[in-house]
A = this chain, B = another copy of it.
Amino acid sequence: MIKRIINNLLTILLFSVIMVNGQNKLSETYNLMPWPKEIKENNNKVYINEDFTVSINNKEGRVHGAAIKFIRRLTNRTGVFVKEGFPFLNKKNATIKITFNKVADIQLNVDESYEVLVTGKQVEILAKTDVGAIRGLETVLQLIRYNENSFYVGGVTIKDSPRFIWRGLMIDVARHYQPLSVLKRNLDAMASMKMNVFHWHLSDDQGFRVESKVFPKLHELGSDGQYYTHENIKDIVSYANKLGIRVVPEIDVPGHATAILTAYPELGSKKGYDYKIERFSGVFHPTLNPINPEVYVFLDKLFAEITPLFPDNYFHIGGDENEGKHWDENHEVQKFKKKEGLNSNHDLQTFFNIKLQEILKKYNKKLMGWDEIMTKDMPKTAIIHSWRGVNEGFKNGTLTEAVKNGYQAVLSNDYYIDRMQSVEHHYLFDPAGNGKLTKEEEKRVLGGEVTMWSELVTSLTIDSRIWPRTAAIAERFWSVKEVKNLENMRKRLRPISLQLEELGISHFKNRDVILRNITKSNDISSLKVLTGVYEPVEIYTRNKGGTEYKSFSPFTLFADACFADAIDGYNFKKTMNSYLKRPSVSKKKELINYFNKWIKGYNDFLKLQSNPNTGLIKNHYKKLKELSLVCVEVLNGKKITKKVKKEVNECVKVLKEPLVDTELVVLPVIEKFLNE
């Protein structure tokens, strides 16, 4: 009896904790992501069988096409042979009944709210716009559950709408070009996470990726033949539009302009400089010459050509990381600065930006730029894209500064997924910052953008860098700020991550492609074991100084097969930490299983035919095995002798070294264990 009372108390306590964290208890049952604003459970269930149908109230707009894709995903996921493969118009008793009022114009501030009502035999989706309805369809796909005999939609009532209106993903296609198919599957995945802005970073030192009919040398000399034709761009914009995703293009100027200047060196700030497409990574000096009137003629003509391809009202002009070295070296530029009373290169860049803003205005575009553009003369209509925070020397981050200055702003600092940090790191950052904003200021925070810089990714690996972490960040942008239980987020992220494969996201499958390439074999089990506990080194430890890798270096290495948040690593650390606090037989058994997995992994690894790439891994793996053997003995109560201690130290020394740009994430906790 007392036990029951305690149990009940514990349950209540558990729920309270969940409530304290602002997390609805249904998030233990339903794997929705992003978590909806309001959700209630009911006793209904709608089964998915061959009679499944979808009805819409209007063939115009985005829902018809989205419903077809929805049916394909549903049948593929469940294996159910539906009789009707296309949606009906106004079919009363359809399994899924969708009603929306109007077709949205895809610009900032689309109404994306929707409701899902699971009644007796029907799932109803209600929305003001077609975009809201397709957001609802994604929710319904996440509501599909199963038992041994059936798939069904769980009984819930949902009222949902986003917290922020700007929920973006930036993909840098300059450092490594990405084919249309990569962009399309990522747009699909974005839509599945209710993201609504694709920021297309189209030019940089390493490439200018837009076909220009007016300045053909741009793509001919500035892209290595890897660029998007006008037709390609229209294709992507239209594809995104159907998903309710805006496309904000970026042409980065005046810095990050090596590719442009490779094509048109006469526009550069340093006469006679040998501009060549950059193969390394970093911040480089080639910069447009702000005092050359031809530069503005060029930009005017270029924007006249390019802006009509992008129907969005905003155009991103970059503006970041111009150190002005070539300006300093240019005598004419210096004279000009003096004459115009421009005290710094920053002032000179403002001069440039204002001119650019006027050009964009001609083509009905509002300007957006990285936070360096925020200077006193920049009009408040510009959107400030904040990428600098504490680590870059801005105590409160540039976002806070921007909104306090009256600008609208979008946050990307903290969402740099190319840094290969844990999902938790990104998930806990709130776009509206530390709570020091007034209500008015907070309103000016439009949302956030995940940035996928592509120095170290190719089309083979980009998905595994973007996903699944971006799904969690998308939740940060959509859901109320109180949704922040890490354990629960991780629990929901696992099935969500698997479901991303439906859309072609290749994080799991391309890991295996890389491992087969490393082993030259179909038997990759031993290396897969390693990817469970090795993660790519974080932040910019990989590619130190930007010169370890060139853009054409191989990205088929062991590091490229590894993910942030290595799954065994996470679970092992949790178990070990818990064991160290309070040992138990079951935890001990679990830990021994891990160690045995690594021991067996090494033994299997030895059966592979050696090649230079498996050779790089061998010694590390051997030491992991040796360390594991010791750990099993210690767990079984054996004392460590001096001799063994020495061996352990030797192992740890080797294992502390990066393994082909990865690190063994369980090492610190194993050291802790052995030192206790």
Contact = CB atoms under 8 A, between A and B. Distances in A.
A556 B612 contact: no
Interface string A474-511: 00000000000000000000010010011000101110
B554 A79 contact: yes
Interface stretch (A69-77, A307-315, A401-409): A69-77
A46 to B, nearest CB: 15
B554 A149 contact: no
Contact of A612 (B68, B86, B150): B150
Given A520-B495, A554-B81, A612 B181 contact: no
B508 A512 contact: yes
B85 A550 contact: yes
A513 to B, nearest CB: 5
Stoichiometry, as copies per complex, reads 2
A557 B77 CA distance: 9
Contact of A554 (B78, B279, B552, B555): B78
A65 interface: yes
A676 interface: no
A282 interface: no
Contacts of A78: 554, 612-613
B554 A225 contact: no
B513 A510 contact: no
Given A72-B552, A516-B508, A615 B148 contact: yes
A45 B150 CA distance: 60
Contacts of A76: 517, 554-556
A557 B79 contact: yes
A231 B233 CA distance: 12
Interface in A269-284: 279
Given A76-B517, A517-B502, A611 B148 contact: yes
A379 interface: no
Contacts of A554: 75-76, 78-81
B179 A77 contact: no
A455 to B, nearest CB: 15
A146 interface: yes
A43 interface: no
Nearest to A48: B612
A553 interface: yes
A467 to B, nearest CB: 14
A610 B71 CA distance: 23
Contacts of A520: 146, 495, 498
A551 interface: yes
A140 B150 CA distance: 53
Interface string A136-163: 0000000000111111000000000000
A510 B521 CA distance: 17
A85 B613 CA distance: 20
B501 A509 contact: no
Interface in A529-570: 549-557
B512 A613 contact: no
B517 A77 contact: yes
A523 to B, nearest CB: 11
B75 A611 contact: no
B513 A512 contact: no
A180 interface: yes
A77 B556 contact: yes
Nearest to A610: B148
A522 interface: yes
A527 to B, nearest CB: 14
Nearest to A76: B556
A146 B612 contact: yes
Contacts of A72: 552
Contacts of A502: 517
A614 to B, nearest CB: 8
Contacts of A149: 612, 615
B501 A613 contact: no
Contacts of A521: 498
A557 B81 CA distance: 11
A611 B77 CA distance: 11
Contacts of A517: 76-77, 498, 501-502
Contact of A180 (B65, B180, B612): B180
Contact of A75 (B85, B86, B501, B553): B553
Interface in A219-246: 224-225, 229, 231
A548 to B, nearest CB: 8
A552 B81 CA distance: 8
Nearest to A145: B611
Contacts of A68: 224
Contact of A498 (B80, B516, B552): B516
A315 to B, nearest CB: 25
A151 to B, nearest CB: 7
A146 B611 CA distance: 6
Contact of A85 (B146, B495, B551): B551
Given A81-B554, A146-B612, A554-B76, A510 B509 contact: yes
B71 A552 contact: yes
A396 to B, nearest CB: 41
A408 to B, nearest CB: 37
Contacts of A509: 506, 509-510, 512-513
Interface in A168-183: 179-181
Interface string A603-640: 00000001111010000000000000000000000000
Interface centre among A68, A76, A150 (most CB of B within 10 A): A76
Given A512-B512, A516-B508, A612 B75 contact: no
A615 B71 CA distance: 22
Interface in A544-599: 549-557
8 contacts: A68-B224, A80-B554, A81-B554, A147-B611, A148-B612, A148-B615, A149-B612, A501-B513
Query: A-B pairs with the 4 shortest C-beta distances?
Result: A85-B552, A181-B181, A509-B509, A148-B610
Given A71-B552, A149-B615, A508-B513, 16 more contacts: A75-B554, A79-B612, A79-B613, A81-B550, A86-B552, A148-B612, A150-B612, A151-B611, A229-B231, A498-B517, A498-B521, A498-B522, A501-B516, A502-B517, A509-B509, A512-B512
